[in-house]
Amino acid sequence: MQHFLCPQCGAAVASQAPGAVMVVCPACRSTLTRDAETARQVGRLSAVVDDGSAVRIGTRGALSGHGFEVVGRLRLQYEEGGWNEWYVLFDAGGTGWLSDASGQYALTRRGATESPLPLPAYDELKVGHRLKVDGVLYTVADVRRSRCVGGEGELPEHPGDGWDVAAADLRGGVHFATLDYSDGAPVLYAGEAGQRLTLDEQTMRSSEEILAAIGRVRGQILSLACPNCGAPVSIVAAMATQVICSACSSRLDCSGEQVEVIEAHKRAARFRGTLPLGASGNLAGGKFTIIGVMRCEVPGDSSEPPWTEYLMLDARKGYRWLVETQTGWQLVTVCDEWPVFDGRDEDSCRLNGGTWNRTYHYGAQVTEVFGAFNWRVRLGDRTRVTDFAHGQQVLSREQGGSEITWSLASPIGASSVHQAFGVPTPKERLPPVMRADGRDEETEKFAQVGTFASLVLMMLAGELSLPALLTGLVLVWLPPALTWLGVFTNGEASR
């Protein structure tokens, strides 16, 4: 551990990573470089806007038994969201990066590639393409340009006032890699994501510490006024980057200190889901809150029924999804570990020791969206979805323009969902008793009574006026007609 004074403001600055060439002064945000026994200012890096991450400088973790400690951070931002890159110092020596994207973690180290083929240029990378690097077969998971907008602690490079980043993430099973093209030629950072990467909760920030840092609890639902229409909107403190106003459907950016309008609308929201926004319930070992709702459909195919996706948040466990379809409910988790394909036909894949067979391939389009999200979702967003089944579980690959995600869905009973969130379970209507000729008994009884009553009315036609006769026929046949319509509607709805 080395200590020196900031030449800009005189505050004490500490440094412990041998590979760090600069450190951000915690007092004045100056970026300082160390030359022998002296330190000099080389720029000023913006303070990191607190995004509610539970990781902090001093957090400890391990990957396959190799311990490390967080000593610095960079904040990267792109159009749809952002993430953290934490600079770590390994106990056995050396440094690396802990990627933190909404609570999904991956640990990498910089290394020289030994790939027999040259790495592709940045513009040649395509999401979904496969790439073999250092003997590992990867899939290009995302390709995007971003910008470093802030930093703190010790860092291995001179960030100055920030810089633009061009990079691609690669995934293959538990393997994770990043190709960084910021300086032109690609630089490889390789490592792992998944269960073998653990973080020590005792060294992470608690809810109370986050409250002291940002003035509100991570995951707390806050009520503000929509800048576009004035209606109340709920945001999730330090967790969501976007809110969709339920009154006017405007997209609002809540990543900064003030809520700003991204895209204004005047259209009134008309969709109502089974679970209301803001509802909380104990599910999957956590207390989750519904913070966002999306309604989706298969574009151009009216035969496929739409479905609803509910984004849930637990401040400690992170994000989960509940998906409501015509056939039931599914609890969905985004995968840290990706499946491995045996061949290029992609008819099956392997994950968690099991084989998953491809069942469906379809398009999905967002038709309604309300609430808060940790990325910028838009009406009309489209993805290509491929489902793989193993027993009752479904593994889904979603591919958009710049990234691929994998998620694991497990069935969950409707009664469990309704009970967890305090929503009344709809009563099931018993089907009518059907005769052998396909007509139900209740409707048949009404028909018999109606026929007899009609004959009586016709016999009395000479003694009744025409309006009275017509009124009598309507009163006789209205009950069976309504019953028949109800049976028909229920039969159609159950198909």
Token readout for 113 is: 């590639």
Q: Which long-range contacts (CB under 8 A, 24 or more apart) does 271-274 make?
A: 271/295, 271/368, 271/370, 273/308, 273/310, 273/324, 274/308, 274/324, 274/423
Residue spans of the domains in the chain: they are 2-203, 271-420, 441-493
User: What local confidence, expressed as pLDDT, does residue 84 receive?
Assistant: 92
Q: Of the given ranges (5-14, 231-240, 266-275, 431-440), which has the lowest mean pLDDT?
A: 431-440
User: What local confidence, expressed as pLDDT, does residue 263 receive?
Assistant: 46
User: What local confidence, expressed as pLDDT, does residue 463 receive?
Assistant: 62
Residue that wins the pLDDT comparison between 355 and 226? 355
d(CA 301, CA 91): 56
Q: Of the given ranges (5-19, 56-70, 157-171), which has the lowest mean pLDDT?
A: 5-19
The string of pLDDT tens digits covering residues 295-343 is: 999 998 888 999 999 999 887 677 899 999 999 999 999 999 999 987 7
Residue 19 has pLDDT above 60, yes or no: no
User: What local confidence, expressed as pLDDT, does residue 268 receive?
Assistant: 43
Give the H/E segment covering residue 364: strand 354-373
| Cβ proximity of 481 and 450 under 8 Å | no
3-state secondary structure of 297: strand
The string of pLDDT tens digits covering residues 144-203 is: 999 988 888 888 876 656 689 999 999 999 999 999 999 888 999 999 998 889 999 999
Which residues, listed in sequence order, are joined to residue 41 by a DSSP beta bridge?
A: 32
Residue that wins the pLDDT comparison between 400 and 79? 400
Residue 138 has pLDDT above 60, yes or no: yes
d(CA 280, CA 73): 33
Token readout for 152 is: 């703190």
Share of the chain above pLDDT 90, in %: 37
Residue that wins the pLDDT comparison between 457 and 275? 275
User: What local confidence, expressed as pLDDT, does residue 98 receive?
Assistant: 97
Pairing of strands 164-172, 187-193: unpaired
Average pLDDT, the chain: 76
User: What local confidence, expressed as pLDDT, does residue 490 receive?
Assistant: 44
Question: CA-based Rg of the chain, rounded to a whole angstrom?
Answer: 30
Spatial CA neighbour of 408 closest among 424, 395, 422, 390: 395
Place of tokens 């999200």: 373
3-state secondary structure of 231: coil
DSSP 207: H
User: What local confidence, expressed as pLDDT, does residue 369 receive?
Assistant: 83
Residue 41 has pLDDT above 60, yes or no: no
Max distance between CA atoms of the chain, in angstroms, equals 120
Token readout for 49 is: 């806007």
Place of tokens 């269960």: 195
Distance of CA 89 to the CA centre of its chain: 30
Residue that wins the pLDDT comparison between 80 and 493? 80
Q: Which of 228-232, 259-263, 348-352 is predicted most confidently?
A: 348-352
Residue that wins the pLDDT comparison between 1 and 452? 452
Place of tokens 């760090």: 20
Residue 265 has pLDDT above 70, yes or no: no
Residue that wins the pLDDT comparison between 411 and 216? 411
Token readout for 174 is: 């538990």
Instruction: Give the orientation angle of helix 441-459 with respect to helix 466-493, to 10 degrees.
Output: 170
Residue 224 has pLDDT above 60, yes or no: no
Q: Where are the beta strands (DSSP E) in 156-230?
A: 164-172, 175-180, 187-193, 197-199, 221-225
Place of tokens 């995004």: 51
User: What local confidence, expressed as pLDDT, does residue 261 receive?
Assistant: 40
Q: Which residues of 430-439 are buried (b: 16+ CB within 10 A; e: fewer)?
A: eebeeeeeee
The string of pLDDT tens digits covering residues 422-453 is: 988 766 544 544 445 555 555 566 566 656 65
Please count the helices (runs of H) and the strands (runs of E) in the chain: 4, 32
The string of pLDDT tens digits covering residues 458-477 is: 666 666 666 666 676 666 66
User: What local confidence, expressed as pLDDT, does residue 334 receive?
Assistant: 93
Length of the chain as a residue count: 495
Backbone φ/ψ region at 26: left (φ over 0), alpha (ψ -120 to 50), beta: alpha
Angle at 81 between CA 79 and CA 82, to 5 degrees: 115
3-state secondary structure of 397: strand
- Report the pLDDT averaged over residues 259-287: 69
User: What local confidence, expressed as pLDDT, does residue 330 receive?
Assistant: 98
The string of pLDDT tens digits covering residues 332-361 is: 999 999 999 877 778 999 999 999 999 999
- Report the pLDDT averaged over residues 26-45: 47
User: What local confidence, expressed as pLDDT, does residue 195 receive?
Assistant: 84
3-state secondary structure of 202: helix
- Report the pLDDT averaged over residues 5-23: 53
Residue 264 has pLDDT above 70, yes or no: no
Its pTM surpasses 0.75:
no
Residue 269 has pLDDT above 80, yes or no: no
pLDDT-based confidence at residue 17 (cuts at 50, 70, 90):
very low
The string of pLDDT tens digits covering residues 271-284 is: 578 998 888 999 98
Q: Of the given ranges (89-98, 199-208, 303-312, 393-402), which has the lowest mean pLDDT?
A: 199-208
